[in-house]
Structure 1
Amino acid sequence: MSLTSRSLLATMISLALYGPALADETPTQSDDVNDELSVAGEETDALELVRGICIAPQDRSADPNNEPVKVTADHAEAKNNTKMTYSGDVVVQQGHRTMAADMATLRQPENIVTAEGNVYFHDGGMEVYSDRLQSNLESEDAEMENAVYSMTCEPGRGEASRISKKNVQGTQFYRMKDGTYTTCPTDDKSWRFSATTLEREGESPFADLYNARFEVLDVPVFYLPYLRVPVGKERLTGFLYPSLSYGSRDGFEFEAPFYWNIAPNYDMTITPKYMSNRGLQLNSQFRYLTEFGSGQLNGEYLADDKTAPEKDARWAFNWSHTGTYQSHWLFKADYSKTSDFSYFNDIDSSIGNREDNNLLQTGEVSYREQNWDSTLRVRDFQPLTSTGEGTQYRLMPQLEFNYYRPDLPYGFDFSMASHLSRFENDSNAKPSADRVHLEPKLTLPYATPWWSITSEAKLMYTYYNQDFDNSVTDLSTLNETASRTVPSVRIHSGLYLERDTAFWGDRYTQSLEPQIQYLFVQNVDQTDIYNPVTYSGGGYDSTRLQQDYYGLFSDKIYSSVDYIAPANQFTLGASTRYFDNNFRERFTLSLGQIFYIDKPTFDGISEDDAESYSATALETEFNYADWLFFKSSMQYDASDRKVQLASGAIEYRTGGIYIQPNYRYVSSSYLDRFVANPNAADDSGKQDGISQLGLSTGFPLYEGLSLRADYFHDLNVNKMLESQVGLTYTSACWLIGLTYNQYASSSLGADNTQYEDNITLSFSLLGLQGAKPLGYSTDTGNALSYGNSFSLNN
């Protein structure tokens, strides 16, 4: 509705400007003038240049009223103090505005301009056809009859029996009679909005619509006797566009959002959502903007779930906030909570997903200066388990302080990271702890266009005060207090070389980027600390990092400081890239490996069994002519002659067609060694690990009908993980989609894996502000949908 009113009002304002433009060009009057003002064909050329054309805002005249006016016509006739008449292909141009008519008359002394016969007006963003236009230059009143308009810069067209502007004591009043609006093309009557009367007072940001209707194939399906809509960027309380869909899980769904414009910096959207299988759910979104930042509060409430009456009321909410204050303070918050652990498995929600194991509840406030910053952080979780207890550590709280001094003599940089943390957990089998960590670091960087070297030395000191149950056997080696000091030295150097080369007759620039790193981290005893190496599932906030090509050059293996892995090693690696003549990256290949001076034994491997080198890491990407893409990565353990990790995807894309098969693999031995193995060896000794194959595709079928499908399969158990197929029909002004989704709702390792099926039917109008375009509804529960995984400059 907002586009309708805005378009028609813009037309009326533009028409009011036309009258003075015509009068300004009136020549000296005489009793009898018959003068040919244009040559044949000039009018046609002028109109053809603008008819149906969008003039971008930046290309329009800044102030068209002050632009010179050009009038062309076949004849001009003037009668002294009576009237001035232009006839025959009349064209008036001023700046980016153009008007044409069969005849235009200026009557004196009333100062009334009248244009009749095939009246045409173009203001850059829209064009209007009308039978007659009249404007009073004294009162600035204007009126247009039988107007037909269309937008030239966006979809939209309509008509009105009369458009008028009245000036009452300096205030302009605008009125439209029997007006319509649609984004459908000419002769397409799929849908439209209409109103018997539209009124706007002066510069009011709102317009009043009377007898507003929504029509489908000329049949009214929605009616309001009165409706107020915004005609600019202003927000206004009122109903937004409803939506209708169907899913096999929740049944028919109908949503009717209501927008409440509370204040310029506060608003709320309240959405009653009816689900035929579950009942009535009330959803809301409250947004705010203050000097401390912006945020929103989302809430969902289902008083009585007909499919689960034993769970009483079901609800979920989320509060998020981010902002700065006086350029130094930074605030962040993200807090979610739900009524029961299966809420997201049962109900489609904007707050969480069925894959979530917990809901994040965190907040932090930071203060930043040029050379230092500090942060106070709290992090909690709501475990989505039947008992309400989880294994995650809560951070209650953490105070972090960092200092930077990059301008020391001789090019040295100094920094110190530090934090004081409190960790708590629900499990009696895990300790709680206070941790203090200090990490001063001195760095000497040096770089030229083709060579760089960075030397780094740091000292890591950590103190723990651990509280645990002494009766737990697995924690018997822990100490209540523990401290550790670990020195570290890192030297990293790289080269950048390039040359011109050619393949298949095309010229390329090839780069070669070898790099070498030496890393020494002293080996100290850390068995008295609850760390992820000594204790299964250990570590307060530490997890093992994946050692892909880029991870090989990191100075740590674990994400935090609960275990600092010892090292005495060299890392060698190199990348080569190919750039075309437009400097677009077409191919990259990276290969690297660690060579140990002291063999690592901290992963539970004896020194006799430890290897003197790491797995080889490989990364590659390929972009051929922007229609064929390939990406893969692999970690290969030469000692075992086994692939530890691998992933790959290849994609063909052209026009509206794409197809992407993809694969990922993690060996069971790698999972057993470093993380919890979801597919551990069974009694027969079979090693499963992770081996999954996927396929995503989409392509047009016929004249607006397109298909999209995703399929993911677990090769270890030979079972489907998830599949989805959707059909979408898109016309010029509406679309409809039908989606079928099936996914595993229980373990794939079970003998009888349970699957959930969903069918969703969605409908949407195109070209309307506030109306969401059709997507594949989250009602399907689709978790593994297609995503562009290629990071080259595509």
Structure 2
Amino acid sequence: MSARKLLSLMLIFTYCLAHSNAYSAMTADTSSLATADIANQLGWINSGENSCGGYYLEGPFIYPADADKPNAIEITGNQGLYRGSGTSELESLTIRHQGQQLTANQGFLYREAETGKLSIIDLIGNVHLQEPNTLVIAKEGRYHLVTKTKSLHDILYRTTLNGHEVAGPKVTSEEKQHDRKITTLSAFGSANEFSQTEPRVYEFDKTTFSTCPPTDPVWQVKAGHIVLDKNTGRGYATDARIVVKNIPIFYFPYINFSIDRQRKSGFLWPVIGHSKKWGGYLQTPFYWNMAPNDDMTITPGYLSLRGFQFVDYLRYLTHKGSGTMKFDVLPNDRAFRDFQAKAPGNINNYVNITGNTTEIIQAELNRLENASPTRNSFIWRDDSQFNSNWSTYIDLNHASDDYYMEDFGNLREITENQLLQEGDLYFKSEHWNSTLRLQSYQALHPIDRPPVTNQYRRLPQLILNGDYPDQFFGLDYFINNEITHFGLLKTPGASVNQPVGNRLNLQPGLSLPLNWPFFFINPRFQLAMTQYQLTQTQPTNTPGSKRRTLPIFDIASGLALSRDMTWFHHPFRQTLEPQAYYTYIPYRNQASIPLFDTTVNTLSYDQIFNYNRFSGIDRIGDANQIGVGMTTRLIDQRSGLEKVRLGVGDILYFSNRRVTMCNNTSCTDNPFNPENKRRLSPVSGVIDYHVRNDWRISTNALWNPVSKQIDNATAGIHYQTDDTHIINLGYNYARNGNPFSGISTNNSQNNLKVTDISFSLPAPFIRDLNLVGRLSHDWASNHFQNLLYGVQYDTCCWAMRMVGGRTFTSLDGDNTPQYNSEYYVQFALKGLGNIGSGNPNGLLSTISGYNTQFGQEF
């Protein structure tokens, strides 16, 4: 089935649902009157206070006088008549027993011939069976007193779903009980026959089922037999047809569905769809409720272009923590085999598309040819806390080949080329904390993508930190220790082996924090001692052993001033917080030290007060500088919330920065970069303004006083009143920050300029319709980065949404943007389940603050 045909079918279904009122208007008047009469009998009250247009009103429910006795039965009536055969006749019959109430215009009571005890009661005319949150209306029925079973004929019914069994107090007189609104999700329908053989289990023959308002039953299940078991929380139907205003849409010989929020084993609704990479596909998930703390979703599926796929997703809870596992396998992927066969003839094309060298392309081709057509992936995440001291964290991701994320990842994952594989053991006590870490990355090297460099592995890394505050003379003593073994798999096509080996860093220190009500000063001294033992040092000429010892001295100081003020007749407290931060670190030549995990920190307001301009340990920058900053805040004295925060800061350098990432122009941070010789850093500023509780404006910027230009800036506006009323506006700018320009860094076209707009808003003039979207556009390269669009129609008893998206992946040989796309169509019949082409929640989560309520009851 093509995507166009699938979409057409979905649109027809949506049209039928959305135009249900119009269809109803074209039916006979008698049908409309019958619908209104059904609603009236079931206690439906029209009201505009909710999306359903009304609610059920539950009448007084009276328990027997001996309500606490489980076998107590109370039978009352008027104008009794006793017949010689042992049969009694009562008018206006009422039977109350164990939270049930049966009433009828007339009742015939039959006794056992041998014992004379009541055994059967026949109910005639206007029969009502009432339980808390459940009502069954019939013309006639029978009640077996011995077995407590009931059978009714020609019935209407309503009952709450999703575990909403809210009842009033057990009162025994009508004067004490009042009518009660039922506004939660409820089902109603009709049936030829009704039977109840045990409490809270209802069976219907030749019946209907719908969670829509009885005044407008948009959809119904018409079935030969339906069972609603509130004890297990499951319902099932046989010979079932889903109809929309009497138009059949689906037929199921058997269907099993949940009627409450408890986890139950059973098949979920199938997923049907079409995609460019998969072709037409069908997935049939099965949910297995293994235990109260474990469950599993098993999803076999068929992809027309690839073959059969099996997906297994496990969730577990223990008394120590929680975790998830996901495993999927696709044996003998036909489309992947075809790709492997055609790739050798396209080497020159891949060179042009990616810009890779022929050596790299050939190495990636070898990996492709050696990859198995049986494809799989595995994900394991676990977070456990054993006691107050020990805990663990696991994040393990594996794919069978370099192309797995392209073929099976969603738009959030499809551009990932480094899959994290990490396990951590944590220890924490009053003065000491440690981390034992095993970390590596599986780098993916697709032949049709730009080159990817393998990352260093930490196998293992041990971090041990100690802190003893407020010791002798008010001194704080601390030490940060780390020992790491770095390994590396050679990047395919690389001609040079990078250094690997061990790194030991010992960094003791002490500080003297001095605090007064309006002033603080904290001088601190550290000694960083680092030792390297390396192999694979040729042909880079890196020494096999390297030591570095550096003293680090810094002084943090600041004032904290405040005053009370009134702004627009509202009381606020304004603070003024000037800070000064001096750092001295002598120069040490570190050019021969390899870069295992170090980068240059982007300058920001917070970075002004950090002693090292590099992240990681492989570079500790020389420094003789003072950072100054000024922060002012406006704090609401009624709520205690921060209304406004403004900050501006700068660094004054007393010497050039001689320690750099590299010794040549292979990277930006090199000895020839004039930025390392400036006396003043760019000026950093931050603004955070909460206009109201639902409006926030934030900006960060770096202004370069030499070039009189902004080096980088971010600006954002976030509006959110609830989970679905959201507007996000963002702008990112970075001078010389466009990785795809391929031109000189002094050209303005190399500046990164990206706008990001996302929203979730109700559509104007159309009730229950919600629009979502996101557009991220790169103005320097003149193409969009991310595009998301969707519409959701969510009513009282059904919902529909269509969501699509595209994500930029790379530029081809002609600098034409390449994208990956996803499309989803999904329907929800509330109380029954969802059906569609997949779940777009991963795509929608890219809208900041968005939390979908799709298919959930109001």
Pairwise TM-score range, normalised by the shorter structure? 0.7 to 0.9
For structure 1, which runs of at least 5 residues remain unmatched after alignment? 1-43, 56-60, 68-73, 531-537, 790-794
Kindly state the Cα deviation for residue 419 of structure 1 after the two structures are TM-superposed. Answer: 1.8
Superposed CA offset, 1:687-738 (max 9, x none): 5131123333454153444433332322223333343333344443333334
Equivalence for 2:816: 753
2:711 pairs with one of 616, 624, 644: 644
- Determine the C-alpha separation between the residues in 2 that align with 1:715 and 1:622: 27
Contact residue 479 and residue 528 of structure 1 kept, 8 A: no
Contact residue 439 and residue 458 of structure 1 kept, 8 A: no
- Determine the C-alpha separation between the residues in 2 that align with 1:208 and 1:776: 24
Change (3 A) 1:178 1:664: same
Amino acid at match of 1:566: D
Kindly state the Cα deviation for residue 235 of structure 1 after the two structures are TM-superposed. Answer: 3.3
Q: Work out whether 1:489 is the aligned partner of 2:546.
A: no
Contact residue 739 and residue 776 of structure 1 kept, 8 A: no
Q: Work out whether 1:255 is the aligned partner of 2:283.
A: yes
Equivalence for 1:509: 572
Contact residue 101 and residue 116 of structure 1 kept, 8 A: no
1:321 pairs with one of 382, 391, 397: 382
Contact residue 619 and residue 659 of structure 2 kept, 8 A: no
Equivalence for 2:697: 630
Equivalence for 2:629: 572
- Determine the C-alpha separation between the residues in 2 that align with 1:54 and 1:592: 64
Give the stretch that moved more between structures: 377-386 or 173-182. Answer: 173-182
Equivalence for 2:325: 297
- Determine the C-alpha separation between the residues in 1 that align with 2:771 and 2:839: 12
Please give the residue correspondences for 1:602-617 in structure 2 after superposition, counting only pairs within 5 Å: 602-603=659-660, 604=671, 610-617=677-684
- Determine the C-alpha separation between the residues in 2 that align with 1:580 and 1:129: 59
Equivalence for 2:425: 365
Kindly state the Cα deviation for residue 129 of structure 1 after the two structures are TM-superposed. Answer: 4.8
* RMSD between aligned residues: 4.8
Superposed CA offset, 1:420-442 (max 9, x none): 11111234442113111223344
- Determine the C-alpha separation between the residues in 1 that align with 2:223 and 2:769: 29
Amino acid at match of 2:488: N
Please give the residue correspondences for 1:696-775 in structure 2 after superposition, counting only pairs within 5 Å: 696-699=758-761, 700=763, 702-747=766-811, 751-756=814-819, 758=821, 760-768=823-831, 771=834
Contact residue 619 and residue 632 of structure 1 kept, 8 A: yes
1:500 pairs with one of 541, 561, 565: 565
Indicate the SS of the match to 1:552: helix
Kindly state the Cα deviation for residue 288 of structure 1 after the two structures are TM-superposed. Answer: 4.0
- Determine the C-alpha separation between the residues in 1 that align with 2:676 and 2:386: 56
Kindly state the Cα deviation for residue 126 of structure 1 after the two structures are TM-superposed. Answer: 5.3
Equivalence for 1:10: none
Indicate the SS of the match to 1:337: strand
Indicate the SS of the match to 2:823: strand
Kindly state the Cα deviation for residue 294 of structure 1 after the two structures are TM-superposed. Answer: 3.5
Equivalence for 1:148: 157
Kindly state the Cα deviation for residue 198 of structure 1 after the two structures are TM-superposed. Answer: 2.7
Equivalence for 2:242: 215
Q: Work out whether 1:110 is the aligned partner of 2:118.
A: yes
Contact residue 537 and residue 544 of structure 2 kept, 8 A: no
Amino acid at match of 1:110: L
Equivalence for 2:413: 353
Please give the residue correspondences for 1:500-539 in structure 2 after superposition, counting only pairs within 5 Å: 500-503=565-568, 506-527=569-590, 530=593, 539=595
Amino acid at match of 2:800: I
Superposed CA offset, 1:322-347 (max 9, x none): 22335543222222221222222233
Change (3 A) 1:570 1:694: closer
- Determine the C-alpha separation between the residues in 1 that align with 2:415 and 2:767: 37
Kindly state the Cα deviation for residue 394 of structure 1 after the two structures are TM-superposed. Answer: 0.5
Equivalence for 1:245: 273
Contact residue 129 and residue 149 of structure 1 kept, 8 A: no
Kindly state the Cα deviation for residue 377 of structure 1 after the two structures are TM-superposed. Answer: 0.9
1:595 pairs with one of 634, 644, 652: 652
Amino acid at match of 2:750: D
Which structure is richer in relative contact order (CA contacts within 8 A, separation 6 or more)?
A: 2
Equivalence for 1:394: 457
- Determine the C-alpha separation between the residues in 2 that align with 1:554 and 1:195: 73
Equivalence for 2:619: 563
Amino acid at match of 2:823: T
Indicate the SS of the match to 1:233: coil
Amino acid at match of 1:665: Y
Contact residue 651 and residue 658 of structure 1 kept, 8 A: yes
Contact residue 745 and residue 753 of structure 1 kept, 8 A: no
Kindly state the Cα deviation for residue 274 of structure 1 after the two structures are TM-superposed. Answer: 3.1
- Determine the C-alpha separation between the residues in 2 that align with 1:446 and 1:317: 52
Kindly state the Cα deviation for residue 244 of structure 1 after the two structures are TM-superposed. Answer: 2.4
- Determine the C-alpha separation between the residues in 2 that align with 1:608 and 1:658: 41
Contact residue 246 and residue 759 of structure 1 kept, 8 A: no
- Determine the C-alpha separation between the residues in 1 that align with 2:798 and 2:44: 32
Change (3 A) 1:696 1:455: same
Indicate the SS of the match to 1:612: coil
Indicate the SS of the match to 2:605: coil
Change (3 A) 1:678 1:294: same
Change (3 A) 1:490 1:139: farther
Indicate the SS of the match to 1:344: helix
Please give the residue correspondences for 1:50-199 in structure 2 after superposition, counting only pairs within 5 Å: 52=55, 65=67, 110=118, 129=137, 140-142=148-150, 146-151=155-160, 152-159=182-189, 160-166=191-197, 175-178=203-206, 180-186=208-214, 187-192=216-221, 194=223, 196-198=225-227
- Determine the C-alpha separation between the residues in 2 that align with 1:262 and 1:588: 51
Equivalence for 2:353: none
Kindly state the Cα deviation for residue 667 of structure 1 after the two structures are TM-superposed. Answer: 0.7
Indicate the SS of the match to 1:185: coil
- Determine the C-alpha separation between the residues in 2 that align with 1:119 and 1:555: 83
Please give the residue correspondences for 1:649-728 in structure 2 after superposition, counting only pairs within 5 Å: 649-650=716-717, 659-668=727-736, 678-679=740-741, 681-682=743-744, 688-699=750-761, 700=763, 702-728=766-792
Alignment length (residue pairs): 706
Amino acid at match of 1:155: L
Change (3 A) 1:91 1:424: same
Contact residue 630 and residue 649 of structure 1 kept, 8 A: yes
- Determine the C-alpha separation between the residues in 2 that align with 1:122 and 1:401: 67
Equivalence for 2:177: none
Indicate the SS of the match to 2:118: coil
Amino acid at match of 1:667: R
2:500 pairs with one of 411, 425, 432: 432
- Determine the C-alpha separation between the residues in 2 that align with 1:609 and 1:348: 42
2:609 pairs with one of 534, 553, 563: 553
Change (3 A) 1:611 1:282: same
For structure 2, which runs of at least 5 residues remain unmatched after alignment? 1-40, 48-53, 70-75, 112-116, 161-181, 341-372, 491-495, 661-670, 851-858
Q: Work out whether 1:621 is the aligned partner of 2:688.
A: yes
